[in-house]
Chain A
Amino acid sequence: MPDRYHIHAVPTPARFRRVGKFGNVDWREDCSRCSNCVKLRCTYDVYRQESAHNRDPAAPAQTLNGCKACLSCVQGCTKGLLGLSVNPEFLDMGDAYWRPDILLTTWNQSDAGKIPVSGAGYRGRFHGPGFDSIWTDMSEIVRPTRDGIHGREYISTSVDIGPRPMRLEFDSEGRMLTEPARLLELQLPAILDMPAWQVQSDQLAQARAIAAEELSSLAVMSAPDAAALPPELLPSAVPVLGREDIPKSAGLLEEVRMAELLDGPEVAAQAGALLSKNPELMVAVRLALRPTAADRAAELARAGMKILHLCADQHGRERPGNGGPGRHLKDVLREVHGRLVKDGLRDTVTLVAGGGIALPEHMAKAIICGADLVAVDTPLLVALGCRVCRDRHVSCTGGRCPAEIWAADAAYAAQRMVNLMSAWHSQLIEVLGAMGIREVRRLRGEVGRAMFLEDIERDAFGDIARVSQTRVCT
């Protein structure tokens, strides 16, 4: 039995100042100095820890804003002077998609790679757009392994990239005529993609490559970034090549295992050019998600392209080109997957889905919708303290990043990324285990193991009269 896949998460405290949801305890006048509040009574000792940090900035920053809002101090204050409020800085982070709670949980997971566990029930909206309108299935009696999901018998999260023979052919002597499959096996159904916008940092690409090597995955980066990598990291790198990069990248192409080409009319010819330099190379086509994605994917598959990387925008939407809101990645993926199945092409290509993958459940749900694996981009920045500022990325360059991502060194950044992916991997296993599935390959396109809002809402409430909110008596 091969060694079990294990991600080595190492506690790596954040270097950036954390923004918590509850950070503001307000003392009103007339305090009697009894200290019968957070000073003495805080169950979590938050006040003392934060004070320690105020005195010594070198103290670990992860406890800052650690108030859990149990309100014991507010309700216990002798004179009723204390008040707590939601930290406005917290609410100001991110945007409608990259919500503050997503940023916070990503920071926490990057600290030590632990699965976020909490008490009480689910706290969010009943459903939401995109992936939040899918629930995954579970089984009451089927279990994936004989000794628990974290037992000795393990749940495989490995996926293959590359062309698979559709059938084996033999000659009359029984000798196999089919070329053996050349597959890139990744142990995690995720590759580490480059940020969707310009970020100032010399170390980011290298950090992704180091993390990808540790994770047995791949790191996507620009051709110049890949060329600057130490040679031992090149097998983990995937350079993205435009037309002008190809002639300059001959040396690079001999070292890497996979490259991506930007989609265009000449992409098949360009792929041929790359393969002439390195016949072992996996060539993927990176195509922006547009309303014509299904047609284009089928066209590329027919043209012999084996790996398609579908890129939604940062919010997981397609780019319709008319300024309007596009469909969500999940809907487009179902269409693309369904079209390829219908045309008999699905098993000839590997589908990578990226853009808007923000949480580990998005990884599982994208695979359910038809992807083989996902590409993770923005969460890798968030792991380093990114707050997805709403300033059209102005502060991502020129040394203005509030989390100082430009100053993070490669080893630190890589370990934070590894920790995050370790937590995601463990959570993917939880989801697979609940479904009774022991191999992520079997999850691809398994829409029967998911519940889609529109279907179960119709089944449950289809016979109930619809009314407008305006008709409800207040």
Chain B
Amino acid sequence: MSTTETDLSARTRVEPRGHPPRRPCEHPQDTSAREVHPAPDRYRNAIGKYKIDRLGSCVSCGRCAEVCPEGVHSKPGGYAFTLRPQDHLCVGPQCAKTDHFCVALCPQKALRLQRNASAECMGDPRWSSDLILSTWHEAATGHKPPPHLEYRHGASGGGFDSLRFQFEIEGSERPEQVPTAEIDTSLDLNHRQDGRPQVHIDIPVYGGGMSFGSVSIHTILAKARAAVAWNSFTCTGEGGYPDRLVPYDDHVITQVATGLFGVREDTIQRVRIVEFKYAQGAKPGLGGHLLGDKNTPPVARMREAVAGNALFSPFPFHSVYSVEDHKKHLDWIKEVNPRCLVSVKVSTPTDVDMVAVGSYYAGAHIIHLDGSYGGTAAAPDIAKKNIAMPIEFAIPKVHKFLRAEGIRDAVTLIASGGIRTPHDALKAVALGADGVVIGTAEMVALGCVRCACCESGRGCPRGIASTDPELMKQMSLEWATQRLVNLHNAWREQMVEGLSLLGMRSIRELRGRSDLLCYLSDEPALAEEVSR
């Protein structure tokens, strides 16, 4: 679908599917609409893949505004001059094949089309410039990005970027497509049959842990509100449970991490899922790290720490030396909250399959694997690149092992750490996961350019991962919520489209169907060799 003004103004109501009856809550719960509205870039100048230069020889005849269907050029009535091109809407050289290519039709030859050098500054092999722009488009419109952007995979040359579905291969057999309206993307998260309540989510995606301190309160709340809208979840991270999250309790996962910052009996009791964070993919084997500058007085109050001091979480849990200790941990949480499900978030060592089995026998409902290429607000570069295996390798390893143990259907397997697109999510499910957790994709939807400065000084210069009172005001809660609601809609649409092409009626049919995948045997040309 191309980005037109008509699309931007379209309002789509997405009907919830399989929404479970809500249980009565202790606190009044806020609702948030699952409606797509346009949420354009919050900066004055949106960035696109291409740039249109208007040269001095332009006579403002308005011909370009007449021909361009994308809304790049405009000359409103009564204006003597043509307005500055909205070049982020330009679809690029492919337009030259049409009869409305402004560069060719300009009588003065005053227009020039080129790649936008500024957009190329934000790319890296894992998150290419195209992927960032695609995610921005999804968040702005709620729909699939236009074809001039490579929105399905990055340019890292391996893992998800080297996997394709059979339907993407020339000459492959295609099953009969299922009408998209009949496709179900929901998941049940409790497969243990242990008498605890079922937790049902409408999309096979929920939000990863981001602590109060690492990201702004607006980011935390927007994630929670989008989770409410999509009947999914967000996670507190290890920075405590801000009071402003209370109206969204039903869609919040309380994380219990090694630092135990802000973990209290009531924060465990008020939620439906509690997550133990044993390790984080971006810094496996190392504890969390909040740099001193981001430990502002409100953050310090929440964490019961001294403002301005860097906060290190220990690694690992100092009370867990074995699977038996791990079971005690889980029993403790289950005792404190008899109606919650317990998720165990682990990283991906060589024995990740054994870790998963151990977690199942300790009583976990959800095993959450966090691969090594995941995001973070601060981690040593050496850890992000080198320690533990990427999620693409860990999912099939764990899935096959759980199946061989005969317990695959008794546990929910969630994958995270490098899930950038809905296509990555589908591939993760085909490799054996039930669903995925995303983090960086949500940050990109809020305007992140991946400049990697979340940890330094005042934090994110774009106000997303910052607790600086001035910087965080750059983003309003309403705008941020809408961007994430849109993102989830665009993701769901694309997942539904993929399932339709696979001839499946439910995401649950795709689990472990690695036979539907192909692996590219040759090294693709890499878009960019240089990374920071």
Q: Judge whether A122 and B385 touch: CB under 8 Å.
A: yes
Q: Which of B312, B388, B395, B530 has the most CB of A within 10 A?
A: B530
Question: Is there an interface contact between B522 and A125, defined as CB atoms closer than 8 Å?
Answer: no
Interface string of A85-115 (1 = CB under 8 A from B): 1100011000010011100110000000001
Residue of A nearest to B313 (CB): A148
Q: Complex: how many Å from CA A141 to CA B324? A: 12
Is B514 part of the contact surface with A, judged by Cβ < 8 Å? yes
Residues from chain A with a CB closer than 8 A to the CB of B120 are 85-86
Q: Flag whether B84 is at the interface (Cβ < 8 A).
A: yes
Shortest CB-to-CB span from A138 to chain B, Å, is 4
Contacts of A460 in B (CB 8 A): 392-393, 395-397, 431
Q: Does B471 contact A (CB under 8 A)?
A: yes
> In the bound complex, do residue B390 and residue A126 qualify as a contact, i.e. CB atoms below 8 Å apart?
yes
Chain A residues contacting B31 (CB-CB under 8 Å) are: none
* Contact call B520/A101, Cβ cutoff below 8 A: no
A467 touches B514 (CB 8 A): no
B450, A120: Cβ atoms closer than 8 Å = yes
**A125/B531 in contact, CB under 8 A:** yes
**CA gap between A82 and B156 in the complex, in Å:** 29
**In the complex the two chains form, is A71's CB within 8 Å of B44's CB?**
no
B126 touches A122 (CB 8 A): yes
B286–A430 contact, CB under 8 A? yes
9-residue interface stretch from B17-25, B189-197, B229-237, B314-322: B314-322
Which bracket fits the contact residues of A? 35 or more
Which residues does chain B contribute within 8 Å of A140, judged by CB atoms?
A: 278-279, 316, 346-347, 349, 355
Assembled-state Cα–Cα distance A471/B375 (Å): 32
B98 touches A (CB below 8 Å)? no
Question: Known interface pairs A91-B530, A119-B455, A121-B376. Does A466 touch B44 (Cβ–Cβ under 8 Å)?
Answer: no
Produce 1/0 per residue, A415-438, CB < 8 A to B: 000000000000100110111100
Interface presence of A269 (CB below 8 A): no
Residue of B nearest to A121 (CB): B375
Nearest chain B residue, comparing its CB with the CB of A21? B532
Specify which of A83, A125, A456 is in contact with B118 (CB 8 Å cutoff): A83
Q: Can you name the residue of chain A whose Cβ is closest to the Cβ of B514?
A: A464
Chain A residues in 8 Å Cβ range of B372: 122, 135
Give Cα distance in the complex from A464 to B315, angstroms. Answer: 36
| A76-B45, A125-B158 known; A86+B121 contact, CB < 8 A | yes
Determine the residue in chain B with the shortest Cβ distance to A433. B285
Given the known interface contacts A138-B349, A431-B382, the answer about A125 and B125 at a Cβ–Cβ threshold of 8 Å is: yes
Task: Check A80/B350 contact, CB under 8 A, given A434-B387, A460-B397.
Answer: no
Residue contact A43 to B279, C-beta cutoff 8 Å: no
Most buried by B among A123, A140, A364: A140
Task: Check if B102 is an interface residue, CB within 8 A of chain A.
Answer: no
A76 to B379 Cα, complex, angstroms: 29
Q: Is the CB of A117 within 8 A of B381?
A: yes
Residues of chain A with a CB closer than 8 A to B325's CB: 141
Please give 15 more A-B residue pairs, beta carbons under 8 A apart, in addition to A123-B452, A135-B372, A467-B518: A44-B461, A68-B461, A71-B47, A71-B449, A80-B44, A86-B121, A122-B372, A123-B450, A149-B286, A365-B386, A436-B285, A456-B389, A466-B521, A468-B522, A469-B520
In the assembled complex, 23 residue pairs joining A and B whose CB atoms fall closer than 8 Å, in A order, are A43-B471, A69-B449, A71-B449, A72-B462, A85-B121, A86-B121, A101-B531, A117-B380, A119-B456, A120-B375, A121-B126, A121-B282, A121-B376, A126-B158, A135-B387, A136-B388, A140-B355, A141-B278, A141-B325, A434-B284, A434-B387, A451-B389, A467-B521
- Counting from the closest, the 7 A-B pairs by CB-CB distance are A434-B285, A126-B158, A119-B454, A75-B43, A138-B285, A85-B117, A43-B461
B-to-A contact residues, CB < 8 Å: 41, 43-47, 51, 84, 116-118, 120-122, 124-127, 156-159, 161-164, 168-171, 278-279, 282, 284-287, 289, 312, 314-317, 320-322, 325-326, 346-347, 349-350, 355, 372-390, 392-393, 395-397, 417-418, 431, 440, 448-458, 460-462, 465, 471, 514-515, 517-522, 524, 526, 529-532
Interfacial residues, chain A to chain B (CB-CB below 8 A): 21-22, 26, 43-44, 68-72, 74-80, 82-86, 90-91, 96, 99-101, 104-105, 115-127, 134-143, 148-149, 359-361, 364-365, 427, 430-431, 433-436, 448-449, 451, 456-457, 459-461, 463-469, 471-473
